Amino acid sequence: MTDPSEYPNQGYDEWIDAIAAGEGYHLVCPEGHGSLPPRRICPECGAGGLAEEPLPASGEIETYSVTHVASPRFEDDAPYAIAIATFGDVAITGQVRDVSPENVDAGMVVTVDVDESATDDEPVVVFRPR
């Protein structure tokens, strides 16, 4: 199978780099619907002309799970907490770092960052308690 790290993903790679630099953004259509890149068309209303706007400085965890049985790409990371956090009008899926998995909870206020997988050093979107 092709190693996902071996090919570029235009639009996504730049988004990861921006989050890592503390300049995370999301896309907003002319009608104000938020979405994540890479995206050409607003999934809500079909509009084009999506503009980049900064992500809010913090988000809130809505739901989470501690994964004990990981895929090979994360076998050395397990157990790890995954979560969905909302940042204004978008939601993002990431791993929760800087807090032990059993202390993760819904409602936790977090910032978004990029860290490395312990398994293959590939970039991972992460949340850190604010």
Q: How far apart are alpha carbons 124 and 117 in whole angstroms?
A: 6
Q: Which of residues 6-25 bind other proteins (CB under 8 A)?
A: 9, 12
Specify the residue, 55 or 124, whose C-beta has the smaller distance to other proteins.
124
Please report, for residues 46, 59, 62, the alpha-carbon distance to residue 43 in angstroms, rounded to integers and kept in the order given: 6, 22, 22
Tokens describing residue 113: 């960052």
CB 83 to other proteins: min, Å: 8
Site string for other proteins, 57-86 (x = CB under 8 A): -----xxxxxxxxxxxxxx-x--x-xxx--
Cβ neighbours around 129 below 10 Å, total: 15
Q: Which stretch binds other proteins (CB under 8 A): 18-26, 45-53, 56-64?
A: 56-64
Strands 123-129 and 90-96: parallel
User: With contact defined as beta carbons under 8 Å apart, do 36 and 87 qualify?
Assistant: no
Specify the residue, 48 or 72, whose C-beta has the smaller distance to other proteins.
72
Residues near other proteins, by CB under 8 A: 1, 4, 9, 12, 35-36, 38, 43, 62-75, 77, 80, 82-84, 91-95, 106, 117, 122-125
